[in-house]
Structure 1
């Protein structure tokens, strides 16, 4: 990793913190709020790549662990990481890595715009939704004592918003790819 990689990762950590300023939406079915920070997983992976995207979220987790209120709703601290939302938060690291890997495989400069958008969308769906849910839901079930099938049912409420976030992230990644050709290759 060079200085540019570290700067881009830190920049995306800051972007994710800013996304946390948007107030979370709580729903009655599940003790996990709807936040804009989960869209950062998709953005980081698609725009700055697997390693840098994962590093940006690892830095976020460190900031949360030391108690800084950088999560949506001004939350932070070890209690948050060990609580019901902890699996999703740790899942963000792996999710951004997977998003970046998928984007790197399916999106190339010079492809038609629709194909690039589809590649970014697929990366966002796989890494930003499937991976994060696969880590977050079992954790939530274990920590809260809620049966897994109830957690899955409650998580369905998040799907429409997450699909919208994936479309927004794919559009943003495509715009960055076209608008900032000097941005180093996703890594």
Structure 2
């Protein structure tokens, strides 16, 4: 790993902290707020690639674990890793990796539709595939209840996927950081 990689990983961990500064939007009857931070893994994976994107999310979660209040609403510390949203937090690492992996494989053909698809797969499908079952387990609720409770967040995540895809494609043209992989 070179200095440039370390700087980019730290930069995207900092970007996650900035996204956490946006106030969470509370949804009635649902204990989990809508936040801007789910945009971070999409950007990290699509801009940095699989390895660096996942490492930036892991660094961010390490900073949260040591007590820095970087999550939306000023939350931080080990307690957040015992709550019902822990699956979504760890899903950020997997999401950044999957988005980065998909982006690296199709780098030469990457346009908005493909970048958007990558963000949908990694940023929604992967995060929810990890987050929903973990919420079910931690909260002790049926899987269907957990899935129904997560459903209202999907439209906002689709909007975040559109934003991320636009940023990824723009940066690919102007200042590419991902290297094509076969």
Query: Do both proteins adopt the same fold according to a TM-score greater than 0.5, normalized to the shorter chain?
Result: yes
Rounded to whole Å, the distance in 2 between the matches of 1:170 and 1:40 is 12
Query: Helix, strand or coil: the match of 2:33?
Result: strand
Post-superposition Cα deviations, 1:6-48, rounded to whole Å, max 9, x if no partner, equal 1101000011110001111122343222111111110000001
Post-superposition Cα deviations, 1:113-134, rounded to whole Å, max 9, x if no partner, equal xx51112111101111100001
The Cα shift of 1:185 comes to 2.8
RMSD: 1.5
- Name the residue aligned to 2:127: 132
Rounded to whole Å, the distance in 1 between the matches of 2:5 and 2:61 is 18
- Name the residue aligned to 1:49: 49
TM-score scaled by structure 2?
Answer: 0.94
Q: Which runs of 5+ in 1 are unaligned?
A: none
Rounded to whole Å, the distance in 1 between the matches of 2:26 and 2:168 is 28
Q: For this pair of structures, how many residues does the alignment match?
A: 181
Are residue 144 (structure 1) and residue 174 (structure 2) matched?
Answer: no
Rounded to whole Å, the distance in 1 between the matches of 2:180 and 2:157 is 23
- Name the residue aligned to 1:69: 69
Rounded to whole Å, the distance in 2 between the matches of 1:137 and 1:107 is 30
- Name the residue aligned to 1:185: 179
Rounded to whole Å, the distance in 1 between the matches of 2:64 and 2:51 is 20
Query: Helix, strand or coil: the match of 1:12?
Result: helix
